[in-house]
């Protein structure tokens, strides 16, 4: 079938806490068999929390692979089979200490389509009510609040480098005509 690949074999390589790695054999439409290396990830969720004054709440945290502090929207990893909506509400509470009246699904993004199975579900949270953060014991982050229009400028200007944050902020900004 055109533009399809058929998996004809699979070999587990690594089974970690967050990811699994496998090597598949795939048959191409011309009959050739090739190797495909996959990183299996349970997926994630991210939230654009916007208050009644048009401010967005972002988090700043150290990201080990890049050895730098990045600015992102609240987000978290799903457990295999976990409902992404429920996880999003949990992460909103944990990371910025907020609950919301409205929780709108913005869509899904695939952060790296060549080898990673991760899907990140994006939400917009409005009608925010704040309490206290409840971070995991190994989670360290700072919360910042900025106008949504400034966050969009940070995306366009290259200051926000995280893909899920870029995508979700631009989708949310469109909803507000920014």
110, 151 contact by CB (below 8 A): no
What are the b/e assignments for 24-59, b being 16+ CB within 10 Å? Answer: eebeeeeeeeeeeebbbbbbbbbbbbbbeeebbbbb
Q: Find the catalytic residue in 95, 137, 139, 159.
A: 137
**Strands of 33-40's sheet, edge to edge?**
6-15, 20-27, 33-40
Q: How many CB atoms within 10 Å of residue 95?
A: 25
Instruction: Write the CB contacts of 114 (distance below 8 Å, at least 6 apart in sequence).
Output: none
Residue 137 designated active-site: yes
Task: Enumerate the active-site residues.
Answer: 137
């Amino acid at each position: 079938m055109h533009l399809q690949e058929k998996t004809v074999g699979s070999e587990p390589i690594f089974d970690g806490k967050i990811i699994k790695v496998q090597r598949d054999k795939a048959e191409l439409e011309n009959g050739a068999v090739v190797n495909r290396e996959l990183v299996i990830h349970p997926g994630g969720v991210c939230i654009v929390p916007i208050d009644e004054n048009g401010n967005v709440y972002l988090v700043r945290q150290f990201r080990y692979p890049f050895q730098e502090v990045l600015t992102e929207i609240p987000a978290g990893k799903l457990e295999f089979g976990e409902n992404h909506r429920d996880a999003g509400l949990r992460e909103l509470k944990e990371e910025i200490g907020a609950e919301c009246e409205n929780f709108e699904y913005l869509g899904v993004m695939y952060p790296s389509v060549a080898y990673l199975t991760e899907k990140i579900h994006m939400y917009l949270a409005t009608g925010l009510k704040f309490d206290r953060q409840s971070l995991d014991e190994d989670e360290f982050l700072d919360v910042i609040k900025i106008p949504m229009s400034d966050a969009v400028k940070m995306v366009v200007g290259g200051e926000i480098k995280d893909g899920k944050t870029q995508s979700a902020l631009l989708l949310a900004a469109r909803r507000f005509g920014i």
